[in-house]
Structure 1
Amino acid sequence: MSLNLGILLALVCAIATQLGFLYKHKGANEAPTVDIRHPFRTAKQLYACKWFAIGMAIAAGAWIFHVAALKFAPLSVVQAVLSTGVVILAVMAERIFGFKVGLRQWVGVAMTALGLVLLVITLPATHGAHSAYSLAGMIAFEGAMLAIGAVLIGGKRFGVPDHHHGIMLGAAAGVLFGVSDIAIKALTGLSGIGAIAGSPWLAVTIMASVIAFYASARGMQQGEAVPVIAATSTAANVSCILGGIIVFGDPMPSDTVGICVQAFAFVLVVVAAILTPPPVRAAAAASHA
């Protein structure tokens, strides 16, 4: 019963998350350029945009459903449901918000969704909420993900072309949201407000979420809705799946077929991320030149 409830909560979260992202994208593009040197002024300007504020309100509701889902179901199961978000995103973007979703983007979304689904269904079944974790694994994983997020945010410093920066910021936000989700999963295993308030993982959750907020908003200003949001969702999903294995000990496939399918799934996700967004953004840039 609790597992089914966790799945239902995760489904509601998946829908609300993508809807919130689309509203935030609309609002972010009406706001002044995000300037991390002035974080409070930037946040005020973003929230002053009606659509961004609506998106954040929806995202807050989605976050509550996500935390609840993690309380009742294993991380890998929750991510399996959330992985449907990239398909939900493309449908809502085109049918509700009027974004143009081209064939190349639909192919990228389909490849991403297939890769994520293959990735999660090949994970062996786990029972219970599965909140126990390895402290060493937690520290190593969260530290590595924070470093990856920092590299993605600083992409321009490494000579990455401007038309790639939006997608990199989106991916950075996704990685950092993954860091936050892993920390939240650890917190769900604690009992009592005092234990949660005194846990270092609460600080990690807040720090990663704040940085992800600014990275996501800036990425939305620099890239198209579907590629940037899909990059965020995919990076968050992959980060959480890896975190489930490394930190919480979610089992991996023990047979050759399962391992090969997972490897193919990762290739699908990576190829979709590399090939799909840049041509779309490059074409958009050319049309504005």
Structure 2
Amino acid sequence: MTHLLISVAFALASSGAYALGAVVQERLAVRLGASTPWRVMVHALLRARRWWLSVALNALGALLHVAALAYGPLSVVQPLGALTLVLALPIGAAFTARRVANRQWLGAALTVVGLLLLLTLTVPGSGDGMDPADTTALIIVSALVLTAMVAGTATVRRTVPRSLMYAIGAGVAFAVASALTHAVTRQFEATGAATLLSPTVPAIAAMAIAGVLLSQLAYRGSGLGAPLATVTLANPVASAVIGVALFGERFSDGPLAMALLVVAASAASAGIVLLSPPAAAPQDGTGVDPKAEPPRTPALCRR
């Protein structure tokens, strides 16, 4: 029982770190504006201390998540990750001195319910790790998918749909990084420190960095709620697909499972739709006027 409580505490702390990191990223996106070219944005982010703070918070969230899994089962830790969205809304509201609208709370609740239902439909597999061929295939396929998604955003004119595409890409990148980390961990148990010389290690770093950058792009012009909800949802969905393909996991079948799948997808989709309008900045692709921000913005969000 003590180990379970420790696991829950680590999982809650992980959600809090991820939530705070998301808020810092969204505030940076507001400062830069929705029309800033992504190359200029990346250059500006690399010079901003608050960007590195958000990176540190995301890394802390990942470490706390791993610690939670060391003390408790995935069936407990993974659902608690959905609290990231619930925690981020009031934190973001505090940073902007605004109230969380009832519509946003409803959207968050629907997204979390949909996510939890989706998690219950995944049946754990044998726990066998990936062999080198599987690892290589995952890296190549995921790189191609992410490249295609990023290229596809250039054809999307509206800000919110483009942001959600970036958010889906971020969720996929984080899921791949987690799967590769799982593979390296199992390999480390067998071969020891020699595993650190594996090409999988830089691939993990590349996917983690891609996830952070894509999530940063997702917050441009779309507020906090909808992009974060999409990342939070896309990550476990992509993880489940990877688990089915490589780890012997499967989705529950039968009429009841199919009905729950439809309900879960509908609830999550409705939640993201509800989160989008109130949080969205101007959708014409123009930058955000810094003078329009509340005067009580905390020092964390100032240059």
Deviation for aligned residue 1:111? 1.4
- Quick one: higher RCO (CA 8 Å, sep 6+), 1 or 2? 2
SS at match of 2:38: coil
Q: Give the whole-Å Cα distance in 2 for the aligned partners of 1:216 and 1:34.
A: 15
Deviations for 1:3-32, whole angstroms, at most 9, x for unmatched residues?
Answer: 724444223211211111112222343358
- Report the counterpart of residue 56 of structure 1 in structure 2: 55
Q: Give the whole-Å Cα distance in 2 for the aligned partners of 1:117 and 1:140.
A: 29
* Change over 3 Å in CA distance of 1:140–1:15 after alignment to 2: same
* Change over 3 Å in CA distance of 1:112–1:12 after alignment to 2: same
CA contact (8 A) 2:225 2:279 kept: no
| Residue type at the aligned position of 1:232 | V
Deviations for 1:233-264, whole angstroms, at most 9, x for unmatched residues?
Answer: 22223222333333323353255423431342
- TM-score in terms of structure 2 length: 0.75
From 36, 41, 46, the equivalent of 1:44 is: 46
Deviations for 1:147-188, whole angstroms, at most 9, x for unmatched residues?
Answer: 443333233333342342223222222221111111112222
1:88 aligns with 2:87: yes
Percentage of pairs with the same residue: 21
Q: Give the whole-Å Cα distance in 1 for the aligned partners of 2:102 and 2:174.
A: 28
* Change over 3 Å in CA distance of 1:200–1:259 after alignment to 2: farther
Q: CA RMSD in A?
A: 3.5
- Report the counterpart of residue 22 of structure 2 in structure 1: 21
Q: Give the whole-Å Cα distance in 2 for the aligned partners of 1:53 and 1:182.
A: 24
From 247, 256, 274, the equivalent of 1:276 is: 274
Deviation for aligned residue 1:116? 0.8
Q: Which runs of 5+ in 1 are unaligned?
A: none
For structure 1, which segment, 24-33 or 110-119, has the greater mean C-alpha deviation from structure 2 after superposition? 24-33
| Residue type at the aligned position of 2:156 | G
- Report the counterpart of residue 245 of structure 2 in structure 1: 246
* Change over 3 Å in CA distance of 1:161–1:174 after alignment to 2: same
Equivalent residues, number: 282
* Change over 3 Å in CA distance of 1:12–1:173 after alignment to 2: same
Deviations for 1:192-247, whole angstroms, at most 9, x for unmatched residues?
Answer: 65243133332221111222222222222332122222222222232223333333
SS at match of 1:158: coil
- Report the counterpart of residue 168 of structure 1 in structure 2: 165
CA contact (8 A) 1:184 1:205 kept: yes
For structure 1, which segment, 228-237 or 93-102, has the greater mean C-alpha deviation from structure 2 after superposition? 93-102
* Change over 3 Å in CA distance of 1:80–1:169 after alignment to 2: same
Work out which of the two has the higher radius of gyration on C-alpha atoms and give 1 or 2.
2
Deviation for aligned residue 1:115? 0.5
